[in-house]
Amino acid sequence: MMGIRLYIIVLLCLLLAVGFESTLPPTINNNVIPDLDKLAHFCVFGFMAYLIAILMVKIKLQIPLWCLGFVSLILVTLLGMGNEWIQSFRPGRMVGMDDVLADMLGGLIWLTVWAMTRMRLKIDRLT
């Protein structure tokens, strides 16, 4: 049970941090490192998708692995869209589908690695 609480706390902290950061003026200077904001979206939202999938496993949802990944990807995409919507109210912030695509791609890659690792561990246990 402690594991579930820890995952929930980390996920909520990430959500609050992303929501708070969305209300601030732009903080990433793409002139120093091009597309750094896309990398940040990829990593943060990918990690959130991973945490969502882990939570669904921990609460013992009896659904296939691919369905867990799909639901996690949909949720993280909606969170990314919400993030962009919040940014639309802040002067100076850019709103774009490219950020949402980076969120989705991050979720897809993180979840693919997670699913492949889970399948590999199951195969290793059988042999």
| Mean pLDDT, residues 19-33 taken together | 77
Read off the pTM: 0.85
Q: How many residues in the chain?
A: 127
CA distance 120 to 125: 9
Position 78 confidence tier, pLDDT thresholds 50, 70, 90: very high
Query: For 87-99, what is each residue's pLDDT tens digit?
Result: 888 888 888 899 9
Phi-psi region of 92 (alpha: psi -120 to 50; beta: other; left: phi over 0): left
